Structure 1
Amino acid sequence: MKNQVNKIKRWFFKSPVLASISFSFVCSFGGSILLSFLFIRNESIKYYPQNIFFWSIAIFLIVLPLVLTLENILLFIIKEVSNEKKTKLKTWELFAIIIGGFFSIVYITLTDISFSDWQVQLYNVQKHTPISTASFLTILIIVLIAVISYIILSYYPINKIPPLVAVFSIAGLYLGIVQCILWCVQIFDPSNIDFVFLSLFPLNAILIAIRTIKDVIKQQVRESKISGFIRLNNILNKSSNWPWLGFIATIPLLGLIVVVLLIFGQKPDSLIVAWSETADWNLSSKTAPQNIYQDQHYLCTVAAGGHYSIVKPIRTGKRHGNKVIVNRQLCIANAFEQVIEEKTPNFHKILRSFYDKTGYPIAKHIKSPYTADFVYILMKPLEWIFLGFLYLFDVKPENRIATQYPHAKLPKVSI
């Protein structure tokens, strides 16, 4: 067993990136074979052999970040590796950072997180931005400093880096680690699978940063030739002092960052309000407006989620107990359906069935206000046809239109 483990280690360190991709592919292919077996056994579900290919790709995209995280944890535990292996590991770290950043951006676009500040009223289960948009620049600058610090400590020979530069680089990594921890605390929700995937990248970044600091302080530092400030010089040249000196250096580094950010119009407390001036999250201090329910099963309702100047919302209403935005187009379409249901119930069932089958697959993909605007404009001719129908067959068409989606049940009026 021990020999097998050593063989795997040698294979991994020979080409870490290729090993990670290969292992992820093997896992994804095995998972797709298992899924195929389960589908074949279930006779009620149709199975196509080409599904193996698509399942393999889907599973690979999920497995690769998990494999990289597992490898990162194991590399963090391993005590010592040779300089040759360290060089190859730097390539692996760069690969892990690029893949992690890319997957995080892609995954966050697939969630219900909206990059809107807490004052904005959202729809359904959407959540506001975890970081205040007014302080994006502050967080971006800190992340950039952390990345530059990592590059200095990882890709430059340590004996060619001045001690003070090394100390401030470690301080930069500390600031990056703090931001990663704050992100994980902000989105922490063990009941939500999104938390797991959105925490993988910061978790890996923390492990890489700590491992980089550990590697730096283990390397031999050149003797300083400066004659003045002998005691200070000895402290700086001793690499074992760098971690605690890095903590001290974070204070002047933060001060410098704040001064630079003030020039660019950021507030002095933007490091704090970036996390607190939000809603829906663990570090949030604001209460957002209640979300409006947007029934994605109906194209007109989705169209009402477009830009105000285009779709012209007139009020809010209730549908199935949920608050929805109402515009005239939506009221006309619903009034038209109501008349059809009253006068020709059998035809209404056919029409409703057709609309449900065609409307929902389209409506569920309409998530952008611009797409909603397009749907609204596209339905304008139908709106005019529906309105003409109402004026032809209804005694009081405007009354019927006005009473669609009321907040309370309409009183029955005897005629």
Structure 2
Amino acid sequence: MHVFFSQIFNMIMGTVLIIIIFALPIVLTFTNVINLLRNKPTTLQFVEVLTIVAGTILTLILYGVIGLVDYDKPLYTGAIYPAWHAPIASWHMPTILVLGFIGIIGFLLIRLSNGALPPLTLLLCFASMFIGCILALMWIIQLSPHLFDGVLYRVDTFYLCLFPFNCIILYISAVIKAVGAYIPEEKETVYKNAILQKLNIILRNSKSWPLAIVVLTIPILAVVMIVLVILGQHPDAAIKAFTETSDWLLSQKISPPSVEAPSGHYLCTVSLRGHRRVVKPLRYGLRHNNKIVVNRQLCVANAFEDLLKERVPKGHRVIRYIYDKYGYPLSKHIKTPLSADVVYILMKPLEWIFVAVLYLMDRKPENRIAGQYLPYRLY
């Protein structure tokens, strides 16, 4: 009986989790769109804050779970792997995240204060949300070619666009609400400070708002870019984040050909998944008629096995049995560049032993090493 109720509980919790992940974004989107289409958008602080918090968390989790890779790495084929490369270059991601959070901060300041802000602060919030709108629009445009065919799952690209779309809706709604509340309240207000009074006059005149917002985005972007450049980002990272990609609308790069998903040989997995500066891939090779990425460590290990097969066939069969028994299960656990790097480093002493044996027992060791995974023999 206890097991039965435990299964029922797990089923209910699983259903609730699925509803939160898939249904909640749709419900929030419809709510925000309907609110915007009303003549006078109302303040739905709980819904709006939930949209921002849940949207940020779920989008970041989804982006991470998909396991997107940059354009300079080959995609896997023959298994459940991403069908497209990352829509944002990972080395420029800090700039995108900072610009996105600037828009969110501007929105939250307006909404949580109900628009009761000084004129300069209000305009700066408008400018921040304008930056967020442009970024969200670029994100949606970038992902639009594969909006309904997905990267890993059929709907993942669509869900990746939901939060940016909601940001645009919320920002527009916040501007309408804040301006509508500001004009009647500040119509008769006269500020002693000349700058504040000038800004107050600008806010009263609706024709001046677009120009004022665009002008104020310049100092905000300047300050943000200076800080990001000091921290190692490029000045034009906001643009290159979208262009230094492949497979998407704004992409300008060409990726290497797709390769067969690694199976049976964990060093194949290491050479493909590890960081290039660590595992040092050399070229493409052929293994069981499938294209793979090879590095020197992989070639050395295979050359050593090839030598054993020639000189000590019985010993080779024993080693091959052990390798097949433990190597393939190990390869399934090498899922990140860091884990591949660790395996590569741990294998280094064994690689040196293999090289020593090859140089002791083979007349042309480098030819044997270089000839691995080629369609012809060099030795």
TM over 0.5: yes
For the 8 Å contact 2:25–2:55, the answer to whether it is kept is no
* 1:351 has 2:321 as partner: yes
- Larger relative contact order, structure 1 or 2 (CA cutoff 8 Å, min sep 6): 2
* 1:143 has 2:143 as partner: no
Distance of aligned partners of 1:169 and 1:91 in 2 relative to their CA distance in 1, 3 Å threshold = same
Distance 2:98 2:280 in 1: 40
1:251 is aligned, of 205, 208, 214, to: 214
* 1:104 has 2:59 as partner: yes
| Superposition deviation, residue 179 in structure 1 | 1.0
User: Residue 244 of structure 2 corresponds to which residue in structure 1?
Assistant: 277
Paired AA for residue 98 in structure 1: V
Mapping 1:16-415, distance limit 5 Å: 56-72=12-28, 73-78=30-35, 79=38, 86=43, 89-114=44-69, 116=70, 118=71, 120-122=72-74, 124=76, 129-132=86-89, 135-136=92-93, 138-158=95-115, 160-188=116-144, 189=146, 190-192=148-150, 193=154, 194-219=156-181, 220-226=184-190, 236-237=203-204, 241=206, 245-261=208-224, 263-264=226-227, 265=229, 269-290=236-257, 295-305=262-272, 306=274, 311=279, 313=281, 315-319=283-287, 320-333=289-302, 336=305, 339=309, 343=313, 351=321, 355=324, 358-379=326-347, 401-406=369-374, 408-410=375-377
Distance 1:399 1:209 in 2: 64
Distance 2:74 2:130 in 1: 35
| Superposition deviation, residue 278 in structure 1 | 3.0
Distance of aligned partners of 1:58 and 1:108 in 2 relative to their CA distance in 1, 3 Å threshold = farther
Stretches of structure 1 lacking an aligned partner (at least 5 in a row): 1-47
| Superposition deviation, residue 150 in structure 1 | 0.8
Distance of aligned partners of 1:246 and 1:138 in 2 relative to their CA distance in 1, 3 Å threshold = farther
Please give the per-residue CA displacement for 1:265-296, whole angstroms capped at 9, x wherever unaligned. Answer: 37665543332233332111233444565624
Q: Secondary structure at the match of 2:286?
A: strand
Range 59-68 or range 386-395, more displaced: 386-395
Distance 2:358 2:9 in 1: 52
For the 8 Å contact 1:298–1:359, the answer to whether it is kept is yes
Distance 1:314 1:139 in 2: 32
Distance 2:191 2:364 in 1: 98
Stretches of structure 2 lacking an aligned partner (at least 5 in a row): none
| Superposition deviation, residue 182 in structure 1 | 1.0
Q: Secondary structure at the match of 1:404?
A: coil
Distance 1:355 1:256 in 2: 61
Range 126-135 or range 147-156, more displaced: 126-135
Distance of aligned partners of 1:51 and 1:382 in 2 relative to their CA distance in 1, 3 Å threshold = farther
User: Residue 3 of structure 1 corresponds to which residue in structure 2?
Assistant: none
Paired AA for residue 283 in structure 1: L
Distance of aligned partners of 1:100 and 1:178 in 2 relative to their CA distance in 1, 3 Å threshold = same
Q: Secondary structure at the match of 1:317?
A: strand
* TM-score normalised by L of structure 2: 0.71
Identity, in percent, stands at 29
- Paired residue total: 351
Q: Secondary structure at the match of 1:221?
A: helix
| Superposition deviation, residue 224 in structure 1 | 3.0
For the 8 Å contact 1:293–1:324, the answer to whether it is kept is no
| Superposition deviation, residue 363 in structure 1 | 1.5
**Superposed CA RMSD:** 4.6
| Superposition deviation, residue 173 in structure 1 | 1.8
For the 8 Å contact 1:303–1:373, the answer to whether it is kept is yes
| Superposition deviation, residue 180 in structure 1 | 1.0
For the 8 Å contact 2:136–2:167, the answer to whether it is kept is yes
Distance of aligned partners of 1:61 and 1:108 in 2 relative to their CA distance in 1, 3 Å threshold = farther
Please give the per-residue CA displacement for 1:323-348, whole angstroms capped at 9, x wherever unaligned. Answer: 421324454347627829x956xx68
Distance of aligned partners of 1:335 and 1:53 in 2 relative to their CA distance in 1, 3 Å threshold = farther
Distance 2:41 2:139 in 1: 34
Distance 1:383 1:227 in 2: 76
For the 8 Å contact 1:185–1:282, the answer to whether it is kept is yes
| Superposition deviation, residue 198 in structure 1 | 1.4
Q: Secondary structure at the match of 1:325?
A: strand
| Superposition deviation, residue 299 in structure 1 | 0.8
For the 8 Å contact 2:96–2:238, the answer to whether it is kept is yes
